[in-house]
């Protein structure tokens, strides 16, 4: 999945990007690919082509930059996922059943590195309250999407279904990251079929 498509100029910044967004986009790509703790400010300013004072003028610290990264990318991911699921031209019940199908291409992309929020929480050891707040919002938004899908499909116990689908998603993200994408979505379908059959 490409969250951001940039028309790069000779200066390395997209024509439509503000300097703030450019720094954030560069840092976000680095954090996701290499890990938050493995990317320092020097690497970010070198890749972004900006001065250190410019970066700190837009983001007070690396921690502030990390929180901005997590907020922006997690919200963008949920928006993308919801949009892709609702593009499925099926009845509500069928859309719910196939809600994991759209993830296969993402899992197979060369840039896939797992769930950015889970990665961050592990790296930062749950020590930053702002990161925990972003995590809570992210997980809540995913549960809400599944709840809406289940309710639209006519299931009365949509809250239970939402929680089960959320757990399947977390496991799928981890499996695709650690073991590769083959068979992940197919395994999701088996769990989904069992849950909905017994709902």
Q: Check residue 88 and give its pLDDT.
A: 82
Q: What is the pLDDT of residues 72-81, one digit of tens each?
A: 999 999 999 9
Strand partners, 8: 14
- In 4-128, which ranges are continuous DSSP H helix? 19-34, 41-48, 52-58, 62-87, 92-97, 103-108, 116-124
Query: Looking at the predicted structure, is the pLDDT value of residue 16 above 70?
Result: no
Domains (ranges, CATH) in the chain? 16-60 (1.10.10.60), 66-197 (1.10.357.10)
The stretch 135-161 carries a mean pLDDT of 96
Q: Give the pLDDT band (50/70/90) at residue 125.
A: confident
Report the half-sphere exposure of 11 (CA within 13 A, side-chain side): 11
Report the half-sphere exposure of 91 (CA within 13 A, side-chain side): 4
Q: Give the pLDDT band (50/70/90) at residue 49.
A: very high
The stretch 50-66 carries a mean pLDDT of 96
Q: What is the pLDDT of residues 92-113, one digit of tens each?
A: 989 998 999 999 999 999 999 9
Please tell me the pTM assigned to this model.
Answer: 0.88
**Alpha-carbon separation of residue 82 from 88, 103, 181, 183 (angstroms):** 10, 11, 21, 22
């Amino acid at each position: 999945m490409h969250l951001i498509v940039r028309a790069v100029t000779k200066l390395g910044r997209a024509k439509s990007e503000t300097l703030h967004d450019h720094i954030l986009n560069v840092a976000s790509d680095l954090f996701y690919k290499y890990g938050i703790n493995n990317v320092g400010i020097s690497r970010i300013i070198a890749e972004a082509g900006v001065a250190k004072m410019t970066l700190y003028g837009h983001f007070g610290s690396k921690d502030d930059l990390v929180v901005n990264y997590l907020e922006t990318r997690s919200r963008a991911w949920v928006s993308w996922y919801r949009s892709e699921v609702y593009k499925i031209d099926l009845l509500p019940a069928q859309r719910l059943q196939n809600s994991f199908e759209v993830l296969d291409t993402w899992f197979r992309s060369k840039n896939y590195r797992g769930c950015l929020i889970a990665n961050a929480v592990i790296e930062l050891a749950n020590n930053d309250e702002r990161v925990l707040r972003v995590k809570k919002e992210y997980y809540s938004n995913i549960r809400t999407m599944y709840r809406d899908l289940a309710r639209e499909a006519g299931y009365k116990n949509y809250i239970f279904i939402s929680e089960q689908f959320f757990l399947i998603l977390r496991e799928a993200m981890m499996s695709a990251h650690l073991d590769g994408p083959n068979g992940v979505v197919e395994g999701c379908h088996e769990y989904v079929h069992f849950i909905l059959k017994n709902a």
